[in-house]
């Protein structure tokens, strides 16, 4: 019955705020007909969307789906799988009403309807909403960007923003590392058999040294025991229930501030000249979303035996945190690490995330609980 509602001809004018989702989609069929036909394959999602209130739907345009198919010819086949399609569509629905006027230079990490077991982030998988280059933008998995092309289309459950790119559902930290060029980290984690464990954490924050960072301490890596390597890698990971540390959270911490890694020792977060540092390492790319939290790329490998290392904020590169090392040419640990795709994370200046209007998501908690229960019931029925 919800399906037929979707395809009801439009009777009333478009800008009635109490209009049902189906009517709005029909009225916008010039840009949303592909989304409508995909929704027809997952009636449970339609039912959920039609009865939800205060949601924001990020609706990929027909052109967005065309671009997806050009990039990944298998996408059409994958979209035939109702379970996968449901997950992808859930990731396009925000738990909350966010008009375009609320996209700001301080990013918001909004919870979506994609939840466990398809994402292990407390409160639901996030998308990043921000105003960049005077444009309302959304950053999804692998920090892929999408642009809002038509904002603030009202329907009775909330708002629809039409976007120019299908969002990428965040991948595991392992796949994220391998497919964004962080192959030394992926190889090192595999060497000490930490990759699977890392992928299964909940609410993880991972500081990911670039391949250049591993090359810079190459001479030290040859002689490390597996225990020492495990200790170093664990020192790069935070996992506190309910506390994924996005850049906005790190920038508003007391300065400097200690956070305890899963290895047991503290890392120290500092904000200097609008840049973010972990011990003496600088954050190069912040906020790459993963299945279970977030990855921040850093320019040095952290050394738990040098926890007091501090940065020289004015310097463009920081000295390695390991004394007496020399660099190597080939990226360490990368043998056998083969990317399955290539993603280039968007670059957004960190000054974009200056502290200030932090989104008080806590007020949405009871609502989220209802939403999560609804989604779990839906998933169980698939």
- Site residues (vs ligand NAG, CB under 6 A): 53-54, 116-120, 132-133, 137, 145, 172, 199-200, 256, 258, 260, 265-266, 268, 280, 291, 303, 306-307, 309, 319, 321-323, 346-348, 367
Nearest to 203 by CA among 176, 263, 243, 170: 243
Least spacing, CB of residue 333 vs ligand NAG, in Å: 20
How far apart, in whole angstroms, are the C-alpha atoms of residue 177 and residue 97? 32
Which is nearer to ligand NAG, 35 or 114 (by Cβ)?
114
Q: Are strands 55-60 and 281-290 parallel, antiparallel or unpaired?
A: unpaired
Which is nearer to ligand NAG, 306 or 335 (by Cβ)?
306
Q: Residues 6 or more apart from 19 whose CB is under 8 A from it?
A: 12, 154, 155, 156
Which is nearer to ligand NAG, 36 or 279 (by Cβ)?
279
Least spacing, CB of residue 147 vs ligand NAG, in Å: 8
Nearest to 226 by CA among 199, 198, 196, 189: 189
Number of CB atoms found within 10 A of residue 209's CB: 25
3-state secondary structure of 37: helix
Least spacing, CB of residue 228 vs ligand NAG, in Å: 13
How far apart, in whole angstroms, are the C-alpha atoms of residue 123 and residue 352? 25
Least spacing, CB of residue 96 vs ligand NAG, in Å: 9
Which is nearer to ligand NAG, 27 or 159 (by Cβ)?
159
How far apart, in whole angstroms, are the C-alpha atoms of residue 280 and residue 320? 8
How far apart, in whole angstroms, are the C-alpha atoms of residue 152 and residue 85? 24
Least spacing, CB of residue 35 vs ligand NAG, in Å: 23
Which is nearer to ligand NAG, 162 or 169 (by Cβ)?
169
Which is nearer to ligand NAG, 258 or 317 (by Cβ)?
258
Least spacing, CB of residue 254 vs ligand NAG, in Å: 8
Q: Are strands 204-209 and 275-278 parallel, antiparallel or unpaired?
A: unpaired
Which is nearer to ligand NAG, 116 or 328 (by Cβ)?
116
Number of CB atoms found within 10 A of residue 117's CB: 8
Cis check: omega of the bond before 144, within 30 degrees of 0: no
Least spacing, CB of residue 279 vs ligand NAG, in Å: 7
């Amino acid at each position: 019955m919800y399906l037929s509602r979707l395809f009801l001809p439009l009777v009333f004018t478009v800008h009635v705020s109490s209009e049902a989702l189906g009517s709005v989609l029909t009225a916008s069929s010039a840009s949303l007909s592909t989304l409508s036909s995909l929704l027809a394959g997952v009636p449970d999602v339609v039912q959920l969307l039609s009865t939800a209130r205060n949601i924001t739907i990020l609706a990929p345009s027909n052109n967005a789906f065309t671009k997806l198919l050009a990039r990944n010819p298998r996408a059409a086949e994958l979209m035939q799988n109702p379970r996968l399609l449901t997950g992808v569509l859930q990731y396009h629905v925000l738990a909350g009403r966010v008009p375009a006027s609320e996209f700001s230079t301080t990013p918001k990490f909004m919870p979506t309807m994609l939840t466990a077991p398809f994402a292990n982030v407390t409160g639901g998988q996030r998308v990043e909403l921000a105003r960049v280059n005077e444009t309302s933008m959304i950053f999804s998995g692998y920090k892929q960007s999408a642009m809002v092309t038509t904002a603030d289309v009202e329907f009775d459950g909330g708002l629809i923003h039409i976007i120019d790119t299908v969002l990428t559902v965040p991948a595991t930290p392992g796949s994220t590392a391998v497919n964004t060029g962080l192959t030394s980290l992926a190889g090192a984690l595999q060497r000490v058999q930490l990759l699977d464990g890392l992928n299964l954490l909940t609410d993880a924050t991972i500081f990911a040294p670039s391949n250049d960072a591993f090359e810079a301490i190459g001479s030290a890596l040859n002689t490390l025991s597996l225990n020492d390597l495990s200790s170093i890698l664990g020192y790069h990971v935070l996992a506190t229930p309910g506390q994924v540390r996005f850049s906005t959270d790190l920038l508003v911490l007391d300065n400097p501030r200690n956070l305890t890694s899963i290895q047991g020792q503290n890392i120290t977060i500092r904000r200097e000249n609008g840049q973010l540092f972990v011990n003496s390492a600088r954050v190069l790319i912040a906020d790459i979303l993963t299945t279970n939290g977030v990855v921040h790329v850093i320019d040095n490998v952290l050394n738990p035996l040098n926890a007091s290392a501090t940065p020289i904020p004015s310097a463009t590169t920081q000295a390695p945190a390991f004394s007496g090392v020399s660099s190597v040419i080939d990226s360490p640990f990368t043998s056998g690490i083969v990317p399955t795709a290539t993603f280039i994370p968007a670059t957004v200046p960190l000054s974009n995330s200056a502290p200030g209007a932090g989104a008080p998501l806590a007020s949405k908690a009871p609502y989220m609980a209802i939403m999560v229960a609804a989604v779990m019931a839906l998933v169980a029925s698939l």
